[in-house]
Amino acid sequence: MKDRSQVRTYKATECIVVHKTKDKYGGLSNMAAGFPLEIHGVRILTSEALYQACRFTHKPEIQRIIIQQNSPMTAKMKSKHFLKETRGDWQKKRIQVMRWCLRVKLAQNWRKFSDLLLTTGDRSIVEQSIKDDFWGANKINKDTLVGMNVLGRLLMELREELRTTDADRLMLVKPLDIPQFRLYEKPIGAVGSIAREHTSKEPVYGLFLGGLILNTIHNIINRTVQVGKTLPLPAEGDESPLRDWLKSRLLVEALGWPDGSVKIGERFDILLLDEFDHPVAIIETKAPFHLSTKTEQEKFRGRLHYLPTLRVAFFTNGLKWDRLDLISINGQQKINNEISLDLSQTNAELAECFFLPLRGDHYFRWGKRNRSRVT
């Protein structure tokens, strides 16, 4: 039974009315094309298909049928064939799931969807529907819409969050705290935008760098953990894939390091060389979520003096990072500053500042390998 106290009345001429996907604000609809998503490497054409698939998180075969449809309407229609298989807590969880779907749509279509939301100003957003007065509102006369309009209200909620000073945190969508929340039998972890929006080989700097870094590292952690569960790894445990992906996805793709200047080895897990092949930065990695001991950290610090040209050193388990800023005085290397960052409790602005010494353009401004200079 619907809570009639949640019913709203809207004057159409004073609202953003979402009715047809090809209208000016049609992109706000879950049925709108042009806002593709990706979860666990699975490409999903619309947020409608994602939402419908979430009805059946315990039924991967049904999820596949829904996601394989070429249009959002057929995806919705296919889901109706299996309504008896809907997860038992769906009525209680569906709003939470819809909120999550909208955030995934935003995170993975950041510029396009955020711009569209913000252009609605302060006007109410109303999903006009012929029948559904739960997610939308019904038109009862020429200028009046009545309904609970839950979808429109969730969009307005998201719009308000976009206006905050730390809106970049929306570029990473945290996992839902819902039992058995899975896609194709895999638990759905944190979802970010890096998989599709950053496809250029050129590094990205400026407004979105902090969000890009956060999304990249969270995606790396999720992938590393999944690999650790499915593959028999060598003695290094989860460190080996973590290093490989930190190199390829974070350092080379996001931060602009030439591939040949990032070395993975034994004494130093990841060693970064400047254009003159001088070691300038290192990253010591531990398996994701590993709690490092005092002895491990002391051994790490004790090895730094072997590389007197180092400027910065990082120690990480993927989620928690320690940064040591280094200087050389009279040939003696010293730690000038120490900073720690927990990626689960930070924002894009702080992340960008913390990882600033790892920007490739700081070390490749002149030589022939200058592929990351910012102009």
The Cβ of residue 2 has, within 10 Å, a number of other Cβ atoms equal to 10
Q: Are 175 and 188 in contact (CB under 8 A)?
A: yes
Q: Which residues contact 345 (CB under 8 A, 6 or more apart)?
A: none
CA atoms of 306 and 221, how far apart (whole Å): 30
Cα Rg of the chain (Å, integer): 24
pLDDT tens by residue, 285-321: 998 878 889 999 999 999 998 899 999 999 998 889 9
The Cβ of residue 208 has, within 10 Å, a number of other Cβ atoms equal to 19
**Which class is domain 4-168?**
mainly alpha
Q: Tokens 């559904």 sit at which residue?
A: 132
pLDDT over 70 for what percent of the chain? 87
Q: What is the pLDDT of residue 193?
A: 59
Q: Which helix (H) or strand (E) holds 349?
A: helix 348-354
Mean pLDDT in the chain?
Answer: 86
Q: DSSP readout, 289-352?
A: T----HHHHHHHHHHGGG-TT--EEEEESSSEEEEEEEEEETTEEEEEEEEEEEGGG--HHHHH
Q: What is the pLDDT of residue 224?
A: 78
CA dihedral 53, 56, 62, 65 (to 10 degrees): -10
pLDDT tens by residue, 190-240: 787 543 444 444 343 333 578 888 888 888 887 777 665 444 434 344 568
CA dihedral 294, 297, 301, 302 (to 10 degrees): 60
368 has a pLDDT exceeding 50: no
- Nearest Cα neighbor of 245 from 229, 232, 258, 264 is 264
Q: Tokens 């976009």 sit at which residue?
A: 162
Q: What end-to-end distance do the CA atoms of the chain give, in Å?
A: 59
Q: Which helix (H) or strand (E) holds 110?
A: helix 110-118
Which of the four pLDDT bands, split at 50, 70 and 90, describes residue 1? very low
| Window from 73-87, 135-149, 277-291 with minimum mean pLDDT | 277-291
| Phi, psi (deg, nearest 5) at residue 289 | 70, 5
Task: Look at the pTM and tell me if it is higher than 0.95.
Answer: no
Average pLDDT of span 50-59:
98
Half-sphere exposure at residue 257, Cβ-oriented, CA atoms within 13 angstroms: 25
**Token output for 90:** 């769906």
CA atoms of 160 and 176, how far apart (whole Å): 21
Q: Domain extents for the chain?
A: 4-168, 198-362
Q: What is the pLDDT of residue 202?
A: 39
